[in-house]
Each structure stands twice: as C-alpha cells, then as structure tokens.
Amino acid sequence: MCGRYSLTHNAEEIGRRFGVEAPAQHSARYNVAPTETMPVVRAGDEGSEARRECVTMRWGLIPFWADDEKIGNRMINARSETADQKPSFRAAFRRRRCLVPADGFYEWVSREGKKWPIRITFGDGELGAFAGLWERWSGEDDRVVESYTILTAPAAAQLESIHDRMPLWAPEQCWDEWLFDDEEARGVMESMIEEFPADRVRYYPVSRQLNRPGRESPQMIEPVDEGGLPRRGGEFSV
C-alpha cells in the first residue's frame, strides 16, 4: 500500500526531470495524503505527437462510471497483479496510464503501542516516479474531475518487515513505453517490477507529526532517534 508520499522538488525541477512544463503553483510537499491535488505526468492530448504533459489531479481514482465521486477516497492504490482486470481500473490501464512524480513514500511500524512513520527513498531521495493510472469523471453538474491512483507491487525483500506492498517505482527507461505503448502495457509493468532498484533503497524513521494529514514542514523528512529508534536507514531494524 502507499497512503502517503513526498514530492519536495519544485516545479522547475519536475519540469526538467520529466521534460514537461510543470504546474507553477506546485511547492515542496513533505506529507502528501489521499484526496489532495498533485502533479501527474501523462501522455499529451489524443492525436498529438508522442509527448508528455504535466497536469494536476486528485489522488484517489474516480471511475468514469461512478455515481458518486467519494468512491475515489478508497481508490488510492491499484494492485499491479489485477489492475488490467478490475472494473474500477481496467479502462484506465488500457488508455490512461501516468507517472506520479515523487521522491519518497511512507509506511508505519508499531513500537510500544505507537505508530512510527518510516520514510523510504531511492538513493539520496532522488526525484523519480511511481507508475499510476488516471481517469476523467463527470458529475451531474457537468463538473469534471481528473484523478489518479498509484500502482502497487509485492514489497522488495528488505521492505517486507515494514509492509507487504510498495508503490511500483517506474525506472526512467520505462517512462515513455508506459505512457504511450497501449499494447505492451502489462509487459512494461512487469519489467518495472523486475528492474526495481533494490540495492538503492534507503529507509529511516521520521517524526510522528507525519501521522496527521495536513502537517507540512521540512522536518517531516528528517531522521529521528526518539524512543530508541536509530537514525540511519541502513542501521534501522524493524
């Protein structure tokens, strides 16, 4: 599962990394929670040349056929094993895949009756992307909402003691195939799972302030050693 993530890079850095014009209003985010609006990279308008574009969308996919947009509140993740078969996701899997820019995500472990958030990154918190799906939903009042979900996969061996699932990290060499190649989407997804950079995973405990959605500060991503938890991810045992 992926219920929180971070995107601490600014719009200029996102634009440069993905070759897009990123939404200028984006600012560093340390504690992204479901239902919030965040930058997403997708294929450009249908009929155009193969190019990427960056738009903002609501986290929590609302199927196009839904009667109530609140269904999206529980559609924040889609299992990679079944996303192309489930009614909520299969249409998006065929035609509306995306990249979700991120530089880390969070899971929780229990210690002495308390839930401690663990930040998980690649390398030194480099900017990359999760594989995702997006959808466009229209309400009765003609209001249009674009929303996304993050694909998940079985956790890498070194993360299994934290959680049995993790967001599907999309290697850069797979980005364009994932966005533009409808026929090979499942094969590309399987390649992402196989090419997961397990040797570059880093994780460490962070402040319990992160437990509350809406709290934002650079301190959210700083290692802590409260309660006897060691500071460095490489030494942290869950």
Q: Give the C-alpha separation, 135 to 131, whole Å.
A: 14
Phi, psi of 67, rounded to the nearest 5 degrees: -85, -30
174 noted as active-site residue: no
Q: Give the C-alpha separation, 175 to 178, whole Å.
A: 5
Phi, psi of 167, rounded to the nearest 5 degrees: -65, 150
Instruction: Please count the residues of the chain.
Output: 238
Tell me the C-alpha to C-alpha distance, in Å, between residue 27 and each of 30, 32, 63, 211, 216.
10, 12, 28, 21, 11
Out of 54, 69, 107, 174, which one is annotated catalytic?
A: 107
56 Cβ contact list (under 8 Å, min separation 6): 23, 26, 37, 38, 39, 40
Out of 2, 54, 98, 174, which one is annotated catalytic?
A: 2
54 noted as active-site residue: no
Q: Which residues are catalytic?
A: 2, 107
